[in-house]
Amino acid sequence: MKSLERKLSKLEDQKQKIVEEIDNLKRTRNTEILHVLDSFPPHKVDAYTIIGGLLYVMEQAQNQDEIVGDWQRAGEKFCRRSGNKKSSEFA
């Protein structure tokens, strides 16, 4: 029974480390997205329009709309042009 408890404890520790790593990667991805948003001139588009656009894009991506591939290629091209290679890694 002790060995079973040790295995469970070890797996719980591993699980916690994985959850923490996932959270860190998500934060890094979100920071990269914010850096892209910061690269645009201020006040060109208000925050609610950006949020609405992101929600629309997420919905279309979830529905596997064909235009999503075009958006992905445009994003990759932007990141390459901007020299922001990290941004293309989180896709």
Q: What's the pLDDT tens digit per position in 16-46?
A: 999 999 999 999 999 988 888 887 777 778 8
How far is 50 from 52, CA to CA, in rounded Å? 5
32 contacts 90 by C-beta, under 8 angstroms: yes
Residues 53, 66: one domain?
Answer: yes
User: In the chain, what percentage of residues exceed pLDDT 70?
Assistant: 90
Instruction: Judge whether 90 lies within some domain.
Output: no
pLDDT at 80: 86
pLDDT at 56: 93
Count other Cβ atoms within 10 Å, centred on residue 87: 21
What range does the domain containing 28 cover?
1-38
Residues 31, 57: one domain?
Answer: no
Q: Is the whole-model pTM more than 0.75?
A: no
How far is 49 from 62, CA to CA, in rounded Å? 20
If one compares 41 and 63, the residue with the highest pLDDT of the two is: 63
